[in-house]
């Protein structure tokens, strides 16, 4: 078998491997920042060299093919460039398991932050957790000054809850990524998609008592418990957010009040330690 045939077999095998990996959401992580530009360029160079050396192939056709392939590669590179994707690897203290976060942001009036996740064992090949992507949209007036995508998701304060679960305290509250399965789409939500039913009169009564700065009133909403506190000496009033077992959507902290927000159609928990507000319960729910 000639060197040319061996070269074609090798380059074809690499292309086939990349296609199969892509179909099953596996990727060489070192190729992610440039997409498939490196494999495309390698194909163009190798095929061009073989074609130029082949006596039966017109060199003009080879040049045209190289120009076309280069144009496609440049267009692809342009979309990668404007995407401005960044990557951060978060190692696990338990074993060699790690999570790679791919993130970017888009601003048009409001700023939208996009996060995709890849689980990896040795940092070479990553499996995309395709159903656990996170999107956080922040209105311009609410966007913290000088913030970046890492701070919005809370990457620096991330925590491995177990060997297979990563927890982030994001701008929208607690979000968890499950490495065992990519079918846990609900786990990335800051509040459950189906709210646990609660009589809205109870929320209204709690708000009324809170406005009167009573002490020790309590209400539970979607796993979180909210307790009012008032200190007579200092005149300070606050609502303590309790999160039994760290299983609820809002992390433990202190907030100032619960209000009925007609514009957002939600009862909102406002002026909290970790962020300004959280959605508690839809006003229009039945």
Residue 173 near residue 277, CB atoms below 8 Å: no
Residue 219 near residue 202, CB atoms below 8 Å: yes
C-alpha span between 76 and 48 (Å, rounded): 20
pLDDT tens digits for range 27-55: 999 988 888 888 889 888 998 888 888 88
Reduced to 3 states, what is the DSSP secondary structure of residue 87? Answer: strand
C-alpha span between 15 and 44 (Å, rounded): 12
Residue 71 near residue 53, CB atoms below 8 Å: no
pLDDT at position 237 over 50: yes
Element (H, E) at 164: none
pLDDT at position 204 over 80: yes
Q: What is the pTM of this model?
A: 0.60
C-alpha span between 203 and 209 (Å, rounded): 10
Starting at the edge strand found earlier in the chain, the sheet holding 257-261 runs: 257-261, 266-270, 277-282
- For the chain, the average pLDDT equals 83
pLDDT at position 88 over 90: yes
**Residues contacting residue 213 through CB under 8 Å, at least 6 positions apart:** 228, 230, 237
What's the pLDDT at 188? Answer: 41
pLDDT tens digits for range 50-69: 888 888 888 888 888 889 98
pLDDT at position 184 over 70: no
Residue 192 pLDDT grade (very low, low, confident, very high; cuts 50, 70, 90)? very low
**Residues contacting residue 233 through CB under 8 Å, at least 6 positions apart:** none
What's the pLDDT at 183? Answer: 41
C-alpha span between 132 and 177 (Å, rounded): 7
Residue 141 pLDDT grade (very low, low, confident, very high; cuts 50, 70, 90)? low
C-alpha span between 127 and 117 (Å, rounded): 8
pLDDT at position 142 over 80: no
Per the model's pLDDT, the better-predicted residue between 259 and 107 turns out to be 259
Residue 196 pLDDT grade (very low, low, confident, very high; cuts 50, 70, 90)? low
What's the pLDDT at 144? Answer: 62
Compute the average pLDDT of residues 223-231: 90
**Residues contacting residue 216 through CB under 8 Å, at least 6 positions apart:** 227, 228, 229
pLDDT tens digits for range 265-281: 889 998 888 777 888 88
What's the pLDDT at 193? Answer: 41
Element (H, E) at 66: helix 59-83
């Amino acid at each position: 078998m000639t060197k040319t045939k061996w070269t074609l077999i090798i380059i074809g095998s690499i292309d086939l491997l990349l296609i199969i990996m892509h179909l099953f959401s596996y990727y060489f992580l070192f190729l992610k920042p440039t997409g498939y530009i490196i494999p495309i360029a390698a194909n163009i160079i190798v095929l061009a060299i073989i074609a130029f050396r082949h006596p039966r192939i017109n060199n003009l056709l080879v040049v045209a093919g190289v120009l076309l392939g280069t144009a496609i590669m440049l267009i692809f590179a342009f979309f990668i460039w404007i995407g401005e994707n960044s990557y951060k690897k978060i190692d696990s203290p338990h074993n060699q398991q790690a999570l790679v976060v791919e993130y970017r942001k888009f601003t048009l009036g409001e700023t939208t932050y996009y996060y995709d996740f890849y689980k990896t064992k040795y940092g070479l090949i990553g499996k995309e957790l395709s159903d656990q992507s996170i999107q956080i949209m922040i209105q311009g007036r609410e966007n913290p000054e000088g913030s970046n995508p890492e701070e919005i998701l809370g990457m620096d304060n991330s925590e491995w809850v177990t060997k297979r679960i990563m927890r982030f305290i994001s701008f929208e509250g607690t979000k968890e990524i499950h490495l065992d399965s990519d079918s846990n789409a609900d786990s990335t939500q800051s509040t459950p998609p189906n709210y646990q039913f609660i009589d809205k009169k109870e929320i209204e009564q709690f708000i009324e008592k809170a406005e009167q700065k009573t002490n020790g009133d309590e209400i539970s909403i979607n796993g979180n418990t909210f307790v009012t506190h008032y200190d007579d000496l200092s005149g300070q009033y606050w609502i303590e957010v309790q999160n039994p077992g760290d299983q609820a959507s809002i992390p433990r902290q202190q907030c100032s009040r619960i209000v009925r927000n007609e514009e957002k159609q939600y009862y909102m928990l406002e002026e909290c330690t970790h962020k300004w507000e959280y959605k508690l319960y839809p006003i229009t729910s039945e």
